[in-house]
């Protein structure tokens, strides 16, 4: 009899613990749709409490700072946020000790606080799965607030890592899908644009950790097609990309006034193109791996020019020289220097 009295006292103490609390108890019962679940907890769980980090309790009663107007909480969510920390702790403990038959009944609640194996969730639940609007916190501290479908993030939502990195936008099947913003607090990397199955896909703007900005098209996470790239020093490129590299026809303008318009491959001048210097010099011809290679025409700033063949960036072999008046002379060049005239 003494033991029964002790159990009853403990149960009463635990009830008083959340009696701040009577509103919470009422709401808790309404949400669980099963008052016997609470009775079962008090009668069978009076010692050896299962720990539930207070940090999770506190975070669960908040939403990420950067959640925008797309995520306005409906009435039930606001009501759920009124549950006190002790009551939330009680809910977590209840789910850890309920028999399977009671768990099944509680799972049918349309809106409840629940501990999933992969995290702590507060939001709408249908048939034991996260469905609708909800907030989930994982053991590593990562958090998602937004819409769910069939137990996966789906619709508009925001995922925040403990480091401060986050994604805010559209989801499908638990992956980034649609339009969104991906931000890394660690290195200030940012991408604003379209995603498909968790990777950049479609039009978007990417700002690298170095401050370079790309605006254009992505395919399966890589730059592909036409785009614009601006470096922190003011250099600018507009043209083709392939497999995340500058490739195809494009125009590169340096902050110092140099301009190259022509073909690129693997981020290098490769193929036919025209290079202009700010002092009036120019080269029109072929490049290979960023060096002049093959036939070309080089115009000096005084208006004279040479036409010939280049190898590894230097003029080689027989070529032609034209003065300012168009008079031609033929000569031999070696390693970029004329060695003799041959006419």
| Tens digit of each residue's pLDDT, the chain (343 residues) | 334 443 334 434 444 443 433 443 444 444 344 444 334 333 433 333 322 233 333 333 333 333 333 333 333 333 333 333 444 444 455 445 445 654 554 444 444 455 555 678 887 888 878 888 888 888 788 888 889 999 999 999 889 898 889 999 999 999 999 999 999 988 999 999 999 999 999 999 999 999 999 999 999 999 999 999 999 999 999 999 999 999 999 999 999 999 999 999 999 999 999 999 999 999 999 999 999 999 999 999 999 999 999 999 999 999 999 999 999 999 999 999 999 999 8
Return the number of other C-beta atoms located less than 10 Å from residue 238's C-beta. Answer: 16
- In the prediction, which pLDDT does 118 show? 65
- In the prediction, which pLDDT does 3 show? 42
Pairing label, strands 166-172, 175-183: antiparallel
Residues facing 309 on adjacent strands: 295, 316
- In the prediction, which pLDDT does 117 show? 58
Please name the residue that has the structure tokens 């031999």: 332
CB 184 within 8 A of CB 165: yes
Nearest to 268 by CA among 247, 244, 237: 247
Describe the chain by its helix, strand, coil percentages, rounded to 5. Answer: 20, 50, 30
User: Which tokens belong to 333?
Assistant: 């060049």
Nearest to 191 by CA among 212, 163, 161: 212
pLDDT tens per residue across span 40-67 = 333 433 333 322 233 333 333 333 333 3
User: Which tokens belong to 163?
Assistant: 């480091």
* C-alpha pair distances (Å), 20 with each of 12, 37, 84, 254, 323: 14, 20, 8, 67, 97
* C-alpha pair distances (Å), 169 with each of 49, 62, 69, 134, 138: 38, 19, 12, 15, 19
The DSSP code sequence of 213-268 is: EEEEEEETTEEEEEEEEE-TTS-EEEEEEETTEEEEEEEEE-TTS-EEEEEEETTE
Cis peptide upstream of residue 79 (ω within 30 degrees of 0):
no
Nearest to 40 by CA among 31, 29, 52: 29
- CB burial of residue 311 (10 Å; 0-12, 13-18, 19+): middle
Q: To 10 degrees, the CA torsion angle through 95, 101, 105, 108?
A: 80
- Helix ranges (H only) for the chain are 2-17, 22-32, 35-44, 54-60, 75-80, 85-97, 100-107
Nearest to 55 by CA among 145, 140, 160: 140
User: Which tokens belong to 264?
Assistant: 């690129």
Return the number of other C-beta atoms located less than 10 Å from residue 287's C-beta. Answer: 25
Please name the residue that has the structure tokens 């499908």: 172
Please name the residue that has the structure tokens 């036939």: 295
- In the prediction, which pLDDT does 219 show? 98
What is the DSSP secondary structure assignment for residue 162, as one 8-state letter? T
Rounded-to-integer distance, Cα 293 and Cα 270, Å: 9
């Amino acid at each position: 009899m003494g033991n029964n009295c002790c159990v009853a006292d403990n149960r009463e103490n635990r009830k008083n613990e959340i009696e701040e609390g009577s509103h919470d108890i009422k709401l808790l019962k309404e949400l669980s749709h099963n008052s016997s679940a609470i009775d079962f907890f008090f009668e069978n769980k009076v010692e050896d409490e299962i720990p539930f980090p207070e940090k999770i309790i506190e975070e669960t009663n908040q939403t990420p700072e950067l959640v925008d107007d797309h995520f306005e909480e409906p009435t039930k969510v606001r009501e759920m946020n009124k549950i006190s920390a002790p009551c939330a702790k009680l809910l977590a403990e209840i789910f850890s000790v309920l028999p399977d038959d009671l768990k099944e009944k509680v799972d049918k609640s349309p809106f409840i606080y629940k501990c999933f194996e992969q995290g702590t969730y507060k939001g709408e639940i249908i048939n034991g799965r996260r469905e609708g609007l909800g907030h989930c916190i994982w053991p590593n501290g990562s958090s998602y607030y937004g819409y769910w479908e069939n137990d996966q993030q789906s619709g508009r939502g925001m995922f925040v890592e403990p480091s401060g990195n986050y994604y805010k936008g559209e989801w499908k099947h638990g992956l980034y899908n649609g339009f969104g913003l991906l931000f890394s607090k660690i290195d200030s990397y940012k991408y604003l644009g379209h995603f498909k199955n968790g990777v950049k896909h479609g039009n978007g703007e990417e700002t690298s950790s170095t401050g370079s900005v790309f605006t254009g098209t992505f395919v399966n996470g890589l730059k592909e097609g036409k785009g614009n790239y601006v470096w922190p020093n003011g250099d600018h490129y507009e043209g083709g990309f392939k497999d995340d590299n500058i490739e195809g026809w494009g125009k590169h303008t340096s902050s110092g006034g140099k301009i190259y318009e022509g073909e690129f491959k693997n981020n290098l001048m490769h193929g036919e193109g025209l290079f202009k210097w700010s002092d009036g010099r120019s080269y029109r011809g072929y490049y290979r791996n960023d060096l002049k290679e093959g036939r070309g025409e080089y115009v000096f700033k005084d208006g004279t020019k040479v036409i010939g063949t280049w190898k590894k960036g230097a003029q080689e072999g027989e070529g032609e020289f034209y003065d300012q008046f168009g008079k031609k002379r033929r000569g031999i060049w070696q390693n970029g220097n004329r060695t003799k005239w041959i006419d």
